[in-house]
Amino acid sequence: MPAPRATVAVIGGSGFYEFLHDAHEVEVPTPYGDPTAPVAVGDVGGTTVAFLPRHGKGHAFPPHLINYRANLWALRSLGVRQVLAPCAVGGLRDEVAPGDLVVPEQLVDRTYGRAQSYVERGALHVPFADPYCPALSKTVATADGVRLGGTMVVIEGPRFSTRAESQHYAAQGWTLINMTGHPEAVLARELRLCYAPLALVTDMDAGVETGEGVGQEEVFATFARNIDRVKDLLAGVVGALPVPGVGCACASWADGLDLPYELP
């Protein structure tokens, strides 16, 4: 039986399994190994959507050990062209607060040692000045209570930041901090996919002058309290997606270039 096809995908926490109706799980092997879990393909309001739990089933993979290349490759193999990427973030500056939903416009990569490219030979340099799809981001940000803007710094993890690191990031003007936003976004770009993050602020990182600093329980509790809101919002987005390739260059940036990898 051929694998079911989907043109839109959600990469998110395992709480999103209930997002899909009549879901079927598909094993999708890739040249980069297995994705973090089988891809679930199901219906959201009449649209077929693929879902991949970023950390695997039962949160098996910490941020620095996620097979990001296999995850994005597997989705593209099923026909996906647009990726919605909800994630938990810390807030770094007081213009954001726990419970806020933000679509950041910029990214700073502070990870190291992660496989972050499909380019393994030749001289291809991927345009990444604007790391996210502007059309998809705008669509997500039109949802009620979602803000567009700001910069998300992605750290290696799995540890949280020290107070000094957190204050340093905030002093740069960066607003959000997270451990999974890179290399997800750049791999999506390499595969000519539209990609937009949706960041849920779960805590205020370690940047506060007082208090204990961020803890895992706080992050998970805030995420759990807000998951239904995020799911409803994304269901609305799925019903109002822009036409891929209209208002963005995510799919066309490599036209005429000789990619050193063959798109699945």
β-pairing verdict for 176-178 and 146-148: unpaired
Per-residue binding letters, 131-160, with Zn ion (x by CB under 5 A): --x---------------------------
Place of tokens 């799925």: 238
Please give the structure tokens belonging to residue 96: 């954001």
| CB nearer Zn ion, residue 51 or residue 195 | 195
Listed ranges 3-11, 98-106, 125-133, 145-153: which one lies at the site for Zn ion (CB under 5 A)? 125-133
What is the DSSP secondary structure assignment for residue 242, as one 8-state letter? Answer: P
Q: Is 22 a catalytic residue?
A: no
Q: Is 130 a catalytic residue?
A: no
| CB nearer Zn ion, residue 8 or residue 155 | 8
Per-residue binding letters, 173-212, with Zn ion (x by CB under 5 A): ---------------------x------------------
Question: Among residues 130, 205, 232, 255, which one is catalytic?
Answer: 205
Provide the minimum distance between the beta carbon of 194 and Zn ion in the complex, in angstroms, as a whole number.
3
Query: Do residues 126 and 190 make contact, with C-beta atoms less than 8 angstroms apart?
Result: yes
Q: How far apart are CA 142 and CA 24, in angstroms?
A: 30
Provide the minimum distance between the beta carbon of 135 and Zn ion in the complex, in angstroms, as a whole number.
5
Place of tokens 């290696």: 156
Q: Where are the beta strands (DSSP E) in 30-105?
A: 39-44, 47-53, 82-91, 101-103
Residue 74 three-state SS = helix
- Residues known to be catalytic: 203, 205
Report the interface residues with Zn ion, using CB under 5 A. 133, 194, 248, 250
